[in-house]
Amino acid sequence: MGGVTQFIKELRDGDERAADRLLSAVYDELRRLAAGKLARERPGQTLQATALVHEAYLRLLGAEAGHWENSVHFFAAAAEAMRRILVDSARRKGRVKHGGGLHKRELDEADAIVMPDSIDLIALDEALEKLARRDKAKADLVILRYFAGLSVEQAGRVLGISRATADRHWTFARTWLYNEISKGDDPA
């Protein structure tokens, strides 16, 4: 990933071709991250990994182009961009004019509705926003772990905290988010 850091520096220095070289260097990894995120989505997701990568990359080249220090920061920014895109997509689909509140069912399954056990991105996003107001470092750790696919150790390095602190933050954040998201569940 050293080449990625070099391409970021070239992009920051104004080399217009560096964006193309950067995309070539990171495309496969971004596509792998995007496919992993989409695999956790509810059934019926229409966004494809390639489209998610391209949209995230375009957002990255917009306002933030070249503000990354190295490849780890770039992938963290890419994960945040993918998170925003997925949450925006989930919100858009939740609107009434886009069929919000309605559940897609196959005709032969009309009598049996099975709710997916995948995570609700809107609920996760709202809980992450609350956690960020309470403790931004813990929310950032979750974003790096969940959306960038970084290990606890890698995320700790990005945040400038020790592995032990990152482990404690991760344990706390997972528990806190689980409890926060579960509050909205109907106990029946």
**Is the distance from CB of 90 to CB of 40 less than 8 angstroms?**
no
Domain made up of 119-182: CATH architecture: Orthogonal Bundle (1.10)
Q: Span 67-72, mean pLDDT?
A: 80
Average pLDDT of the chain? 77
Q: What is the pLDDT of residue 132?
A: 92
Q: What is the mean pLDDT of residues 168-184?
A: 87
Specify the higher pLDDT residue, 105 or 141.
141
In the chain, CATH 1.10.1740 sits at 2-97
Q: Is the pLDDT of residue 134 over 90?
A: yes
Residues 26-50: what's their mean pLDDT? 76
The tokens for 25 are 């260097």
Separation of alpha carbons 188 and 186, rounded Å:
5
Query: Dihedral through CA 40, CA 185, CA 99, CA 36, nearest 10?
Result: -10
CATH 1.10.10, the chain: domain bounds: 119-182
Q: Which residue has the higher pLDDT, 104 or 177?
A: 177
The dihedral through the CA atoms of 86, 87, 92, 98 has a sign that is positive
CA distances from 25 to 5, 6, 100, 150 (A): 10, 11, 38, 18
* pLDDT attached to residue 97: 46
What pLDDT sits at residue 45? Answer: 62
Tens of pLDDT, residues 7-17 = 888 888 888 78
Q: For residue 26, give the nearest of 42, 47, 3, 43 by alpha carbon.
A: 3
Does the pLDDT at position 21 exceed 90? no
Per-residue pLDDT band for 55 (boundaries 50, 70, 90) equals: confident
List, for residues 156-171, the tens digit of each pLDDT value.
888 889 999 999 999 9
Interval 114-140 mean pLDDT: 79
Query: Of the CATH numbers 2.40.160, 3.30.750, 1.10.1740, 1.10.510, which one belongs to the domain with range 2-97?
Result: 1.10.1740
